[in-house]
Structure 1
């Protein structure tokens, strides 16, 4: 069996825009969408900046019942899935619903609704014993992460495998990687895959405040996210989603579908070392990169652009830099690297899928998005991080990587289907 998984539809909701087109325009212009938090009173917090999505669920076509039933992250996922399906050009009932799958990734699932319900039940924390009489009838939908991919499956009419993946900040990469595997192994002919998270809430912000992972640069929110810059001091919390339609390449080509990119290779590893710590040598990420390259059947020198995890913490930026050198050898110095988190922040489990969207669009438009706010390079990060300005250049193959709490390290190779003959 020689089945190949390709992306034929994309839907994005990210800070700074209302659709996939807005998202790409922001990236290619090098604009930032991080701002002071508006969703709640952040004055008591160490970090008071975030990447918020300007999202009107009603205007996006969700009914009042859907809005009441779904958490904000689930709303993101459903709206993005609808966009991806429309973008793919597939007709309703095409293909056979029994051959359609759904895979969703998320790090904190329905955190927004769970926190809101707790505040109502406990009278904003005034009572240790919460009154169940105030419990929402949709609490099960918020407690069970599996409801999120189920909503996407209902949107897509998917009667095949339906899966939830929660691997922290690699969830978005891992969900699309799993979806591509379903295509390759013949378990599905079409997969709606991606990730969504809406973690800009007091409880999530407090958790990252406690470990000083998020930036305290509150005086200039637009430049607060500074991956690979010597002045960086933490990441910017964000929200968002990206969903994709994955199809078998032969079937997509037969129906004349527009193909953004092929998921050529995917791999994930764990460092089995520390919940939040990373080893300096980048070995686990390098191993994931090499395995993804092997699956894609390409050499390291074929990589035209690296979409980095680039969270904006010293530990992560230096770990990644070491991993690129270890996996790609001298080519690591020749290939541009950038982090879109500098523009849209870090949306936890969703960001891996949002970065896949950026990678596929980089191939589509032959543009390398920049690393915004990179003015003072860290001497220990000595690669080409494409600072400030996007670059127009030939992009046929992209390496996108992710790193997450728990020691998760994931890598994906995306390329034009014509690049590798199978």
Structure 2
């Protein structure tokens, strides 16, 4: 039996068998008669299958389809209404007009233009599509990270469930649409960089959906400096985000001069957003954001302390990249609090969204070196689906029971 087991391992039949099972379960999720059936099937497979992170693929697809279905029922108000109006304008625009209208962040608007102008799908269907794009990218990046960190099966599953049903993320995912898609792309690139040093294309692609995503480039440069001098890397990680934000504000206050000098809109747009003191209707950052940023800051410092005493990876390159990522998160969390206290709502809110989206990744890194964090991940992950349904949202959605009982394609294929 032992020799047979070794033979199977060498010939790769077991990995192929596992891959076939993942494909079969994924297909069953895609043809499931309702969202709840797809979720339960994928969750059971993730809990009972082997140890590898590939078993989580059907679950992240089922979760992304369900959350996209939920978002497609959201009443178009606030930012989402603005996106709907922009989509209606694009429906009658040609490609040249698209570039004139939205050349500053063409990624999102180009995809929207293809969807509504070329394919003629409905707005609700487009909401479904971009919601699925964000969640699939974000959860896939997290799956790759928990696999690289070699977390045990229960913790891997808990972290994925925690992220997928995190209500603070969900209520913003169809509100700050472009920023969330951009951050999903950037975090996918981030995990590629943390694990194998790649991901540069994704770092460069993300700002085409939202310019603030350019701030993620701090991490690879900080990791590069960290291989030479830890002190220089820390200084760079702290100073560069503040320079990007506060320097952008100073330049943004001179936008009239920049426009008079015929500086292209693609350059001044991002600066103008950071120069705002208030975030649309908000005149201050809420207590939830401040408390969560403080928790994230403390978790980052704890992860750095654990990492310093016992590096997560034996590979020094991976260790320096992980340290740069955690330091980056600590700086963003601290900056969010400082900017909020200073009354700079716009940059504080923008940075908080990144802190929010990075939190499950930070949790995974901390769980790799802390037994208490692993227990916390399992505990929080187990109650997060309940928190998702009871969380009081300011937005109006369809009936949760109906969304669960209907299949995702009832929400996707709308004309």
Q: TM-score, normalised by structure 2?
A: 0.26
Q: TM-score, normalised by structure 1?
A: 0.26
Over alpha carbons, which structure has the higher Rg? 2
